[in-house]
Amino acid sequence: MASDPLFRLSACDAAERLARGEITSLALVESYLACIEEIDGEIQAWAFIDPELAREQASAADMHRQAGGPLGPLHGLPIALKDIVDTGWMPCENGTPLDAGRQPQTDATVVSLLREAGAILLGKTVTTELAFYHPGKTRNPHDTHRTPGGSSSGSAAAVATHMTPLAIGSQTNGSMIRPASFCGVAGFKPTFGLISRHGVLKLAPSLDTLGIFANSVEDCALLADALMRFDAQDEAMEPRAGPHLLEISRSEPPVTPKIAFVKSPVWERTEEATRAGFSELISALGEACEEVELPSVFDKSLEWHRTLMHAEMARHLGPYARRGRGQMSDVLLDVLDDGAKVSAVAYQEALDGQDILNAGLDAIFDRFDAIITPAAAGEAPSGLGATGDPSFCTIWTYCAVPAIALPLMEGANGLPVGVQLIGRRHDDARLLRTARWLIDQAMVSA
């Protein structure tokens, strides 16, 4: 396998070479399957993998191209799906024994879009229990005695180890940005409501957001472009033009971006190495970066997010507890019990808080292209009994703004630490363009 370069290709490079006929989808899939065979016994990123099914899809994709058929932007490209996304060809068990053997009859909207774009559905990646906090079997690829983060643990670890070039994840609090930080990959959580969640496990529909793991900003943009299509079956979506993420992310900013460095209300939880890394990065950015303090009302964000998330989880995951409480973790049951006690007044206040905080963020984005802040406190914590602190993601998920984790730092033990970049709602393309610019600046300063 070491002599095989195909599984090391970026998703964009692989897609272009597939379209030109320079490589076949079957050869590419075989490369990833060999990688999975060699690595996944230790990392355990996959909840379901059927090599023959992957090969059948790849062979069909090659025949279609050879026959001169029209090609989608992801034609022949393998992609992994978090195991909370319904797939008609594969089981979807949602990380719980209560759904063991569950086989959906139809595809989620994102799966239909992937098929339409020509993607190869490689398999399903491990999620924590019902996409919340209780860990699954996946281990951190940089240190298997540490957590990969959650809840999109398998997706992040699979991309980090080149077992797939792209993977779908989801975030209701910190479920993409945190594992991207811990595993050392790019994790893109788009603006809330830009990717359909129809056919995906519901936790808290006011917060749930699908996103993408990749090894570059451009690769995130490639996949996101194919998925950002209006779907009336998702009440959070509205008709709007596609953002042309790949094209804009590859372009040069018309002027030097201005970055707001925001410590957020949980800065004191950062590790010393994280603080030192940010000090160095902010210094390197010079006049392009300015520290900005959030208004004091943002101190309520964690409480408001908790109220909203717990109440909606109690509603949507409550049926699981009613039919199998003994097969669920105490940490999840505690959340469901807490959410059932949320008053209508507190819930409405939490909904109203989203608009209040976004007014404050809009004032910042009137002056700055993006906000920079930690993706996590530091390196992935030791132990596999928990998935780490999501609080560095909470404000941004609650406010529905786009965010991307970039693997730009290391902690005291040489493990990855992500930098989180946040943009204005529905300005995802500018965020990704600024992210590419930031990576270039970091490489120059290094």
Residues known to be catalytic? 82, 151, 175
CA–CA gap between residue 166 and residue 164 (Å, rounded): 6
Sheet of 186-189: strand order equals 46-49, 120-125, 78-82, 167-171, 209-214, 186-189, 403-410, 416-422, 370-374, 259-261, 289-291
CA–CA gap between residue 446 and residue 440 (Å, rounded): 10
Burial class (CB in 10 A: 0-12, 13-18, 19+), 277: buried
CA–CA gap between residue 96 and residue 130 (Å, rounded): 6
- Dihedrals φ, ψ of 287, to 5°? -70, -10
Ordered DSSP codes for 289-343 = EEE-PPPGGGGGHHHHHHHHHHHHHHHHHHHHHHHHGGGS-HHHHHHHHHHTT--
> Is the distance from CB of 288 to CB of 398 less than 8 angstroms?
no
Residues 6+ apart with CB under 8 A from 98: 320, 323, 324, 327, 328
3-state secondary structure of 280: helix
- Extended strands (E) in 53-157: 78-82, 120-125
Ordered DSSP codes for 150-181 = SSSHHHHHHHHTTS-S-EEEEESSSTTHHHHH
3-state secondary structure of 59: helix
Q: Dig out the tokens for 109 from the structure.
A: 């909207």
Distance of CA 26 to the CA centre of its chain: 27
The conformational region for residue 199 under phi > 0 = left, psi -120 to 50 = alpha, else beta, is left
* Adjacent-strand bridge partners of 81: 124, 168
Minimal CA–CA distance to 83: which of 131, 132, 37?
131
Minimal CA–CA distance to 217: which of 74, 417, 9, 431?
431
